[in-house]
Amino acid sequence: MTVTYSLEDFEKKVKFYFKDCEETRKVFPDEAGMLNYLDIEDEEYEALKNVEGYDKILRWAKRRRTSWLERKMVSDPKSATGCKSALQQEKNGGYSDKPVERKDRQLIVKLDMTGETK
């Protein structure tokens, strides 16, 4: 795979994208917009998630999107439903308002009895 940007340039461009969205344009820094800004294809983006260094930057970007949505949801009641819907998408955190059943947990109850039993 050919990487379009050096690690340093990639980090600078991703951080600039977020700064531009948040401070200049006052818009949500969405994933598709970031890919368009970086001018990279989905295949390269998916591959970069598994390349050391680039993966860290992309995890940071995901956390930053999640944080933006969470803050917007609690500070602007008109945006709560839309932000919740966006947060439920895997690329923005994959939140769920339903309990998730976990089969890997086990409850062990140990009873220590004292005294006489009849």
- Condensed to tens digits (0 to 9), the pLDDT of residues 108-117 reads 777 776 777 6
- Residue 104 maps to a domain: no
Does any domain span residue 98? no
Domain range spanning residue 46? 7-92
| Residue 74 within any structural domain of the chain | yes
> Residue 48 domain-assigned?
yes
b vs e for 29-46, b when ≥16 Cβ sit within 10 Å of the residue's Cβ? bebeebeebbebeeebee
The reply to whether 105 falls in a domain is: no
Quote the number of domains for the chain.
Answer: 1
Work out the mean pLDDT of the chain and round it to a whole number: 86
**63 in a domain, yes or no?**
yes
Q: Which two tokens stand for residue 97?
A: 């308002």
In tens, the pLDDT along 41-84 reads: 999 999 999 999 999 999 999 999 988 888 888 888 888 888 88
116 within some domain: no
What is the reported pLDDT for 3?
76
